[in-house]
């Protein structure tokens, strides 16, 4: 089996079929993909020790564990619970040998109109768990999310904002560059260059026109309007040569297809339009 280098599959892409960690890792390896991005629910379903063994025995490599963060909450108790949950996520990431833990901001607390307050809760939450991450040797990758998700999932929206957080927090924190969330940013090339070695992940997919669902209508690379090769060139110029990780939430299209077909398509599209040389 010829392994495909430079490409990783995120569990979200094939989640409707390869639901367990074992199914997911096996499926990816069979397709020639050695690098995988699991989600916490897969690790929790079998426990950290078993998940770690499974990964080690398979020979797969883990990019980021998805995902933690989601710090803003209406009460101090709920904010503490979110911080505790992030500490568990750090243990899970360490236990499976993940390269990093992907972290998103979280939305506004129910009933709140205080977006700057929510963003402060994200900064405070990351600061609270960073010592745990450092001692566990787990890098935290802040993934800015598209502004359309601000209210309900991600109030850190631009690479500039995420990098400002990194500047304040120091060692152990970086960014995940997901093309879906940042492609529109007029300051993208500058912010990717600014990120430099703090780029921990590069997620790929495509922006469809029209987009029919704010969460579950992401496109396959090449089917939309994102200059994937152009963004990869920026990312490599900044010093990141890690894998491009396919992350496609697609309830009405790709999630309905057979996972082997989905992965074969991702490989073909990766070769056709995602490499820096494409
Ligand atoms: Zn992503």
247 Cα: distance to centroid of ligand 1 (angstroms): 6
Instruction: Label the pairing between strands 173-178 and 139-142.
Output: parallel
Q: Where are the domains of the chain?
A: 7-273
Q: Could you tell me where the DSSP H helices lie in the chain?
A: 21-30, 40-46, 48-58, 76-95, 115-136, 159-169, 179-182, 188-195, 228-237, 259-269
Ligand 1 centroid–CA 160 distance in Å is 17
The alpha carbon of 204 and the centre of ligand 1 are apart by a number of angstroms equal to 8
Q: What is the pLDDT of residue 96?
A: 98
CA 176 / ligand 1 centre spacing (Å): 7
Cα of 154 vs centre of ligand 1, distance in Å, is 12
List per-residue pLDDT tens for the chain, 278 residues long: 789 999 999 999 999 999 999 999 999 999 999 999 999 999 999 999 999 999 999 999 999 999 999 999 999 999 999 999 999 999 999 999 999 999 999 999 999 999 999 999 999 999 999 999 999 999 999 999 999 999 999 999 999 999 999 999 999 999 999 999 999 999 999 999 999 999 999 999 999 999 999 999 999 999 999 999 999 999 999 999 999 999 999 999 999 999 999 999 999 999 999 999 98
Q: What pLDDT sits at residue 184?
A: 98
Backbone angles phi, psi at 173, to 5 degrees: -125, 135
Copy the structure tokens of residue 202. 């590069």
Going from the Cα of 161 to the center of ligand 1, the distance in angstroms, rounded, reads 16
Q: What CATH architecture does domain 7-273 belong to?
A: Alpha-Beta Barrel (3.20)
Residues with CB under 5 A from ligand 1 (ion): 178, 203, 247
Tokens 């450092």 belong to residue: 134
Phi, psi torsion values for 277, nearest 5 degrees? -85, -5
Q: Is the preceding peptide bond at 67 cis, omega within 30 degrees of 0? A: yes
- d(CA 175, ligand 1 centre) in Å: 11
Which element (helix H / strand E) includes 245?
strand 244-246
Residue-level pLDDT at 2: 82
85 CA distance to ligand 1 middle (Å): 20
């Amino acid at each position: 089996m010829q392994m495909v280098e430079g490409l990783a599959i995120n569990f979200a892409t094939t989640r409707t079929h390869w639901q367990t960690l074992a199914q997911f890792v096996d499926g990816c390896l069979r397709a020639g993909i050695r690098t995988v991005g699991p989600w916490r629910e897969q690790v929790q379903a079998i426990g950290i020790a078993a998940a770690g063994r499974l990964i080690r025995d398979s020979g797969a490599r883990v990019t980021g564990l998805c995902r933690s963060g989601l710090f803003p909450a209406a009460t101090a108790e709920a904010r503490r619970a979110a911080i505790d949950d992030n500490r568990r996520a750090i243990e899970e990431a360490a236990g499976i040998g993940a390269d990093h833990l992907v972290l998103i901001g979280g939305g506004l607390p129910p009933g709140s109109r205080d977006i700057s307050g929510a963003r402060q809760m994200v900064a405070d939450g990351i600061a609270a768990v960073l010592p745990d991450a450092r001692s566990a040797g787990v890098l935290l990758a802040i993934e800015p999310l598209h502004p359309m998700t601000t209210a309900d999932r991600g109030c850190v929206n631009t690479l500039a904002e995420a990098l400002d957080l990194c500047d304040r927090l120091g060692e152990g924190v970086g960014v995940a560059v997901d093309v879906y969330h940042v492609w529109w940013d007029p300051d993208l090339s500058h912010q990717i260059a600014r990120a430099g070695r703090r780029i921990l992940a590069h997620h790929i997919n495509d922006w469809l026109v029209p987009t029919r669902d704010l969460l579950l209508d992401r496109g396959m690379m090449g089917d939309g309007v994102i200059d994937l090769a152009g963004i990869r060139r920026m990312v490599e110029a900044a010093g990141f040569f890690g894998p491009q990780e396919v992350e496609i939430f697609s309830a009405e299209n790709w999630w309905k297809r057979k996972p082997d077909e989905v992965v074969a398509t991702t490989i073909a599209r990766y070769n056709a339009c995602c490499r820096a040389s494409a």
